[in-house]
Amino acid sequence: MLSNYGYEDGSGNYYITIDTDKCSECGEKPCLQACPEGIFQTELDDYDDEVVIVREEARNRLRQTCAACKSRDRMASGDYVLPCLKACPEGALKHTW
Amino acid sequence: MAQEYWRWSEESWINPDLNDWKGACLTAGVDIGSTSTQAVVMADKKPLSYASIRTGSNSKDSAVNAMNRVLELTGLQREEIAFTVGTGYGRVNVPFADKTVTEITCHARGANFIYGPSVRTILDMGGQDCKAIHCDENGRVRSFMMNDKCAAGTGRGMEVIADLLGVPIEEIGARSFEADQIPKPITSQCVVFAKTEVGHLMREGWTKEQVLAAYCQAMADRVARLLERNGMELDFAITGGIAKNIGVVRRVEKLMGVTALQGSYDSQIAGALGGALMAYDLLEKRKRRGQRS
């Protein structure tokens, strides 16, 4: 299932989408360590599979929390990949902005 | 006491074709909705019995009462049920649940059982919210969209209008088609304002049937927009109490250009049925994990 965590305001959509079917296939969950802000945690979903979710307290300020990783200089370099996306071996994570 | 037109009839059922279920793995699903509560018991993933009652002021009591009805019908003790899933708006209030599961997951699983594995889009029209769900051939949720802003476009809204017009809720759908001429659909998003709008229409001289047609059309318009936003993929099925209102169902079908599948079980038990199926799967999964560790 595609789980969307985040919000929408006048400036845009700020969601992190996690494909839980892909995420549950990953045993190590390296994204937990890769995020410098520690916004991810795990929980057992409806199917008793361990999946990553975005911490509740982080969901309403993703634009600010992720700003350091998404700085203009970094994003300008062509081969730069966000640490969480780079760490995810299943390609289960997506950012909408 | 004045007649309460919104009161839909509570139901309980035992499977007459399932006699040899002693020794089967018994699982249960209890769905506490805002308006109704259902309990379903399955024997080796076959429906054994269910009860559907109105949710009272105490969700915990509603769960216990629904389950007790099923236990009385079957002669079972609660301890004989191997695993119970609590679901729905009040799922955390099922005191005997082994796990809580969201109603979205349970409705998708239940619809897959009731309507078959070809179902891809489910419209769950509940008492106080409405959800458009996409699932795969195993009844696993792929995506969903929800409207829970207010009671307009849901079962509770229909109950309020039934009482206001003095029309038994079971008759609303059929009577809405008796109107020869229809006023513009009720525009209010809020049930409180919709009541005022219905009052205006009555004073203007529209008949009850014509007003009901306008209300059913308004409800269909709202859920069609929800379905459009989430995308329509065939086959299509409707679960929840409003699935019994043909006045809304036929109008949704017309707007979306599709025909909803017909199931062999009560559409209102889809969540609890899905819960009982999830209970079986979760129990098996935990057994396998236990064997591995």
Q: Kindly report the pTM of this predicted structure.
A: 0.90
| A37 interfacial to chain B (CB closer than 8 Å) | no
A46: which 2 tokens? Answer: 């409806």
| B149 interfacial to chain A (CB closer than 8 Å) | no
ipTM of predicted assembly, 2 dp: 0.82
Mean pLDDT of A29-39: 97
- Domain enclosing residue A50, as ranges: 2-95
Let me know: does B236 contact B260? Beta carbons within 8 Å: yes
Determine the Cα–Cα distance for residues B228 and B40; give it in Å rounded to an integer.
32
CATH of the domain at A66: 3.30.70
Question: Nearest residue of A to residue B134 by CA position?
Answer: A1
**Within this chain, domains B11-112+268-292 and B117-260 share the same CATH topology:** yes
Question: Residues A74-94: pLDDT tens digits?
Answer: 788 788 999 999 999 999 999
- Residues in A closer than 8 angstroms to B286, CB to CB, are 48
Let me know: does B53 contact B88? Beta carbons within 8 Å: no
> How close does chain A come to B212, measured CA to CA in Å?
36
Digit-by-digit pLDDT tens for chain B (293 residues) are: 567 887 788 999 999 998 888 889 999 999 999 889 999 999 999 999 999 999 988 999 999 999 999 999 999 999 999 999 999 999 999 999 999 999 999 999 999 999 999 999 999 998 888 899 999 999 999 988 887 666 656 888 899 999 999 999 999 999 999 998 999 888 766 778 888 899 999 999 999 999 999 999 999 998 998 899 888 999 999 999 999 999 999 999 999 999 999 999 999 999 999 999 999 999 999 999 886 65
| B140 interfacial to chain A (CB closer than 8 Å) | yes
Domains of chain A: total: 1
> How close does chain A come to B135, measured CA to CA in Å?
9
Count Cβ neighbours within 10 Å for each residue of B210-222 and write b for 16 or more, e otherwise: bbbbbbbbbbbbb
Q: Is the peptide bond before B235 cis (omega within 30 degrees of 0)?
A: yes
Q: Which of B140, B141, B282 sits opposite A48 (nearest CB)?
A: B282
Q: Which of A1, A46, A47 sits opposite B143 (nearest CB)?
A: A1
In chain B, positions 81-110, which contact chain A (CB-CB < 8 Å)? 99, 101-102, 105
Q: Smallest Cα–Cα separation from B280: which of B121, B97, B83?
A: B83
B208-230 helix and B246-256 helix, angle to the nearest 10 degrees: 50
Tell me how far the alpha carbon of residue B133 is from its chain's centroid. 13
Q: Specify the 3-state DSSP secondary structure of B17.
A: coil
Mean pLDDT of A39-66: 96
Let me know: does B40 contact B13? Beta carbons within 8 Å: no
| A2 interfacial to chain B (CB closer than 8 Å) | yes
- Residues in B closer than 8 angstroms to A1, CB to CB, are 140-143
Contact B143 A21 (CB under 8 A): no
Count Cβ neighbours within 10 Å for each residue of B249-280 and write b for 16 or more, e otherwise: bbbbbebbeeebbebebbbbbbbbbbbbbbbb
Determine the CATH number of domain B11-112+268-292.
Answer: 3.30.420.40
For B117-260, give the CATH class.
Answer: alpha beta
Tell me how far the alpha carbon of residue B239 is from its chain's centroid. 5
Identity of the residue numbered B6: W
Determine the Cα–Cα distance for residues B61 and B58; give it in Å rounded to an integer.
5
What ranges do the domains of chain B cover? 11-112+268-292, 117-260
